[in-house]
């Protein structure tokens, strides 16, 4: 069978015709490794239940310190994929002699049920992660890290509202905020499954890019902690007339002469990033995405972000350059930063009217 040769971050693999490999996910995998280096956990038991070519597992084995991984369970339900993984392990001089490596060919849920528990679980499907969530969280250890990808962004971002309600128990909103709202809806969905098991899953690093959303959680156990997480769930209310927004426990409010506000959610309203972790990941990767996340991780209690072009259109003034708008906000001692969710966005914790008054360039007399 003819195979394609692929090199990613210094690791070379061969891909069989029917085995899934997505080159766009290289950044996803690089961030995963940078995060694990940053948290510096030792003797982890790792589970990759949907391994495909094995590229993520091989990169982890090659790029992380040997002390980081005690066992790594590499699995795929497809026999051809598992054969491909064996070949790629051998190609990278990782053989059965390495007792850390446990390679299996079964349903990933069955694999996790058979094991005692894991310190790191990575769910990286094509589509929704939902079918894996319950068992993965059940088997996630105290202090463990849970990495989740969702590629069905249409259901989360408001393009397919019924799918969002059915799969994520929340309603998206298709506007400039849709990807951050979708990411926060995904977080809530995972957290609710965690609450079923009296586990509190706090996001420590999250992002939306290209065609997918990605979140890393840290697991803490206990009813009170799980309750604290659920208390941070609310709706995002949005006024299409003045562009103001607020978090609210109910999905109804009025604004601007009693016009009903649009709503999205319920969703996670808390922090998306651990600031120190974001700093370390940026230092490791030095790219535009991780740079913007490092900056926005410093903004606490934000009302998401403001889109400069949309605001200038609605309030009828020339859109300022992003750098100029940031400069005006800093002059007023307002905390503000770029956001990775939008090239035209600024994350800040002030309300819309104050934001407009500061960034609007005074007219010439």
> What pLDDT is stored for residue 362 in this prediction?
61
Residue at a domain's end among 237, 254, 279: 237
Locate tokens 């589509």: which residue?
127
> What pLDDT is stored for residue 365 in this prediction?
44
Task: Please write the tens of the pLDDT for every residue from 290-330.
Answer: 999 999 999 998 989 999 999 999 999 999 999 999 999 99
For residue 89, the domain's CATH number is 3.40.50.150
For residue 337, the domain's CATH number is 3.30.56.70
Same domain as 160, residue 31: yes
Residue 190 lies in a domain: yes
Same domain as 311, residue 204: no
> What pLDDT is stored for residue 14 in this prediction?
86
Burial of 87: CB neighbours in 10 Å, binned 0-12, 13-18, 19+ = middle
Distance (Å, rounded) from C-alpha 361 to C-alpha 325?
A: 9
Residue 243 lies in a domain: no
Same domain as 312, residue 195: no
Domain count, the chain: 2
- Which is more confident, 14 or 157? 157
Residue 85 lies in a domain: yes
Domain encompassing residue 204: 4-237
Task: Please write the tens of the pLDDT for every residue from 194-220.
Answer: 999 999 999 999 999 989 999 999 999
Residue 364 has pLDDT above 70, yes or no: no
Residue 119 lies in a domain: yes
Distance (Å, rounded) from C-alpha 103 to C-alpha 5?
A: 22
Average pLDDT of 344-356?
95
Half-sphere exposure at residue 324, Cβ-oriented, CA atoms within 13 angstroms: 9
Residue 363 has pLDDT above 50, yes or no: no
> What pLDDT is stored for residue 17 in this prediction?
75
Average pLDDT of 214-230?
98
Q: What is the largest CA-CA distance in the chain?
A: 79
Q: What is the separation, in whole angstroms, between the first and last Cα of the chain?
A: 75
> What pLDDT is stored for residue 217 in this prediction?
99
Same domain as 173, residue 322: no
Same domain as 35, residue 122: yes
Same domain as 308, residue 214: no
Task: Please write the tens of the pLDDT for every residue from 273-292.
Answer: 999 999 999 999 999 999 99
Residue 249 lies in a domain: no
- Which is more confident, 108 or 1? 108
Task: Please write the tens of the pLDDT for every residue from 28-74.
Answer: 999 999 999 999 999 999 999 999 999 999 999 999 999 999 999 99
Same domain as 119, residue 44: yes
Same domain as 14, residue 163: yes
Same domain as 220, residue 330: no
Residue 277 lies in a domain: no
Same domain as 310, residue 232: no
Rg of the chain on CA atoms, in Å: 22
Same domain as 47, residue 162: yes
Of the candidates 300, 234, 307, the one whose C-alpha atom is nearest the C-alpha of residue 272 is 300
Same domain as 310, residue 178: no
Average pLDDT taken over every residue of the chain: 94
């Amino acid at each position: 069978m003819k195979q394609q040769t692929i090199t990613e971050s210094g690791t070379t693999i061969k891909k069989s015709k029917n085995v899934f490999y997505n080159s766009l996910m290289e950044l996803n995998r690089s961030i995963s490794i940078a995060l694990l280096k940053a948290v510096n956990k030792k003797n982890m038991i790792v589970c990759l239940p949907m391994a495909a070519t094995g590229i993520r597992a091989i990169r982890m084995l090659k790029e992380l310190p040997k002390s980081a991984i005690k066992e790594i369970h590499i699995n795929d339900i497809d026999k051809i994929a598992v054969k491909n993984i064996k070949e790629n392990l051998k190609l990278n001089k990782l053989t059965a002699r390495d007792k850390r490596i446990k390679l299996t060919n079964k349903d990933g849920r069955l694999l996790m049920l058979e094991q005692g528990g894991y310190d790191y679980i990575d769910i990286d499907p094509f589509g929704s992660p939902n079918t894996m969530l319950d068992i993965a969280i059940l088997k996630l250890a105290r202090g463990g890290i849970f990495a989740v990808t969702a590629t069905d962004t249409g259901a989360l971002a408001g393009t397919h509202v019924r799918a969002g309600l059915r799969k994520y128990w929340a309603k998206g909103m298709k506007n400039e905020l849709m990807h951050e709202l979708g990411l926060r809806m995904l977080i809530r969905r995972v957290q609710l499954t965690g609450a079923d098991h009296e586990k509190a899953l706090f996001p420590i690093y999250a992002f939306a890019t290209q065609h997918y959303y990605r979140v890393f959680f840290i697991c803490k156990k206990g009813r009170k902690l799980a309750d604290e997480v659920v208390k941070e769930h609310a709706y995002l209310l949005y006024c299409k007339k003045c562009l103001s927004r607020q978090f609210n426990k109910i999905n109804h409010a009025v604004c601007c002469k009693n016009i009903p506000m649009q709503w999205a959610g319920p969703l996670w309203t808390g922090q998306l990033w651990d600031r120190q972790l974001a700093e370390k990941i940026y230092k490791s990767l030095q790219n535009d995405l991780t740079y913007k996340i490092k900056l926005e991780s410093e903004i606490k209690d934000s009302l998401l972000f403001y889109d400069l072009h949309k605001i200038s259109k609605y309030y009828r003034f020339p859109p300022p350059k992003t750098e100029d708008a940031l400069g005006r906000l800093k002059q007023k001692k307002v905390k503000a930063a770029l956001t990775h969710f939008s090239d035209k966005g600024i994350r800040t914790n002030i309300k819309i009217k104050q934001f407009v008054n500061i960034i609007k360039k005074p007219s010439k007399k």
